[in-house]
Copies of this chain bind each other. A is one copy, B any other.
Amino acid sequence: MAEAPIASMKVAPTAPAVDADVLASIETPYLMVDLGRMDAAIADMAGSLAARGVALRPHAKTHKSLEVARRQLAAGAVGLTVATIGEAEVFADGGFDDLFIAYPLVPIGTKGARLRAVAERARLSVGIDSPTGAEAVADALGPAVDTTSVLIEVDSGGRRSGTAPGDVAAVAKAAARRGLRVVGVFTHGGHGYEGPEAKAAAAADEVRALTEAAAGLSSVGIEARVVSAGSTPTALMSARGAVTEERPGTYVFGDRQQVALGSIRPDAVAAAVVAMVVSVNRAQRRFVVDAGAKTLSKDVAPYLAGHGEIPTLGGQPIARLSDHHGAVDVASGDPMPEVGQVVAVLPNHICPVVNLFDSFSVFTDGQPTATWRVDARGRNS
Contacts and interface: CB of A to CB of B under 8 A. Distances in A.
Nearest to A86: B27
A248 interface: no
Contacts of A104: 278-279, 288
Contacts of A280: 130
A105 B278 contact: yes
Contacts of A216: none
Interface stretch (A9-17, A154-162, A207-215): A154-162
Interface stretch (A175-183, A294-302, A308-316): A294-302
Interface string A130-146: 10110010000000000
Contact of A298 (B28, B29, B298): B298
A33 interface: no
Chain A interface SS verdict (over half): loop
Contact of A160 (B28, B279, B283): B279
Contacts of A132: 338-340
Given A104-B288, A130-B339, A279 B110 contact: no
A133 B339 contact: yes
Contacts of A190: 322
Nearest to A280: B130
Contact of A323 (B30, B351, B356): B351
Contact of A133 (B84, B278, B323, B325): B278
How many copies make up the complex?
A: 2
Contacts of A284: 159, 164
Interface string A83-118: 110000000000000000001111011110000000
A87 to B, nearest CB: 10
A70 interface: no
A381 interface: yes
B164 A283 contact: yes
A106 B340 contact: yes
Instruction: Determine which residue in A109, A284, A294 has the highest number of CB atoms from chain B within 10 A of its CB, and name it.
Output: A294
A129 B340 contact: no
Nearest to A325: B160
A106 B298 contact: no
A276 interface: yes
Contact of A161 (B61, B159, B288): B288
B298 A352 contact: yes
Nearest to A161: B279
Interface in A354-381: 355-358, 378, 380-381
A25 interface: yes
Nearest to A286: B159
A173 interface: no
A324 interface: yes
A222 interface: no
A219 interface: no
- A-B pairs, 5 with minimum CB distance: A161-B279, A132-B339, A160-B325, A160-B327, A161-B288
Interface of A: 24-25, 27-30, 61, 83-84, 103-106, 108-111, 129-130, 132-133, 136, 153, 155, 159-164, 190, 276, 278-281, 283-284, 286, 288, 290, 293-295, 297-300, 320, 322-325, 327, 338-340, 351-352, 355-358, 378, 380-381
